[in-house]
């Protein structure tokens, strides 16, 4: 089995410590340097990640604020459009009412004018008929039959005028 030899143990220990010293002098500083560099890189990446996260949060808040402002502006535009439409509707109704009133007024004035014309024409014709009847009476002496015939003619002529 295994037999411990003192010379081999001493040389193994000497070799181990020499290797340990050599590693401590040459490799260990390089390993520490590499680990330190790796630690700095990781630290820098973590810091950049924090900054990026903070910028993202700031951008998100900014986006939310802009979205809220855009919604408010859109609602304002919609409300203004509704108000403008309502005002236009009221204006159109008011204008139509005014035009309607003017048309009715003009029609009433025209009717009154035509009525006055008809009355004047009727008065002129009645006056003409009265003058004609009076001149016939003056030109003839009337007996009962002539008087009746003259009244009937007068009434029929007046009836013709009203019949028109």
SS (H, E, C) 116-134: HHHHHHHHHHHHHHHHHHH
31-60 average pLDDT score:
95
Q: How confident is the model at residue 115 (pLDDT cuts 50, 70, 90)?
A: confident
Contact call for residues 133 and 150 (beta carbons, < 8 A): yes
State the pLDDT at residue 18. 95
Residue 164 above 60 pLDDT? no
Residue 66 above 90 pLDDT? yes
As separate numbers, helices (DSSP H) first and strands (DSSP E) second, the chain gives 3, 0
Q: How confident is the model at residue 139 (pLDDT cuts 50, 70, 90)?
A: low
Percent of the chain residues past pLDDT 90, beyond the cut: 59
State the pLDDT at residue 138. 62
| Rounded Cα–Cα distance for residues 76 and 70 (Å) | 10
- The whole-model pTM stands at 0.42
Alpha helices in 140-163 (DSSP H): 144-163
| Rounded Cα–Cα distance for residues 86 and 94 (Å) | 12
State the pLDDT at residue 4. 78
CA angle 49, 55, 58 (to 5 degrees): 145
| Rounded Cα–Cα distance for residues 84 and 92 (Å) | 12
State the pLDDT at residue 124. 75
**Alpha-carbon distances of 80 from 83, 86, 89, 94, 96, rounded to whole Å:** 5, 10, 14, 21, 24
| Rounded Cα–Cα distance for residues 129 and 155 (Å) | 10
Q: How confident is the model at residue 125 (pLDDT cuts 50, 70, 90)?
A: confident
| Rounded Cα–Cα distance for residues 94 and 101 (Å) | 10
20-49 average pLDDT score:
93
Residue 159 above 60 pLDDT? yes
């Amino acid at each position: 089995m295994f037999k411990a030899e003192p010379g081999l143990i001493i040389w193994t220990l000497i070799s181990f410590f020499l290797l340990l010293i050599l590693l401590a002098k040459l490799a260990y500083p390089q390993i520490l340097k590499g680990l330190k560099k790796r630690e700095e890189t990781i630290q820098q990446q973590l810091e950049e990640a924090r900054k990026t996260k903070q910028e993202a949060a700031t951008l998100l808040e900014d986006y939310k604020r802009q979205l809220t402002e855009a919604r408010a502006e859109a609602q304002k535009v919609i409300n203004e459009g509704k108000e403008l439409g309502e005002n236009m509707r009221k204006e159109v109704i008011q204008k139509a009412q005014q035009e309607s009133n003017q048309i009715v007024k003009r029609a009433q004035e025209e009717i009154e004018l035509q009525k006055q014309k008809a009355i004047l024409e009727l008065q002129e014709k009645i006056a003409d008929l009265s003058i004609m009847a009076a001149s016939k009476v003056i030109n003839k002496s009337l007996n009962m039959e002539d008087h009746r015939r003259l009244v009937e003619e007068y009434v029929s002529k007046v009836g013709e005028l009203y019949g028109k």
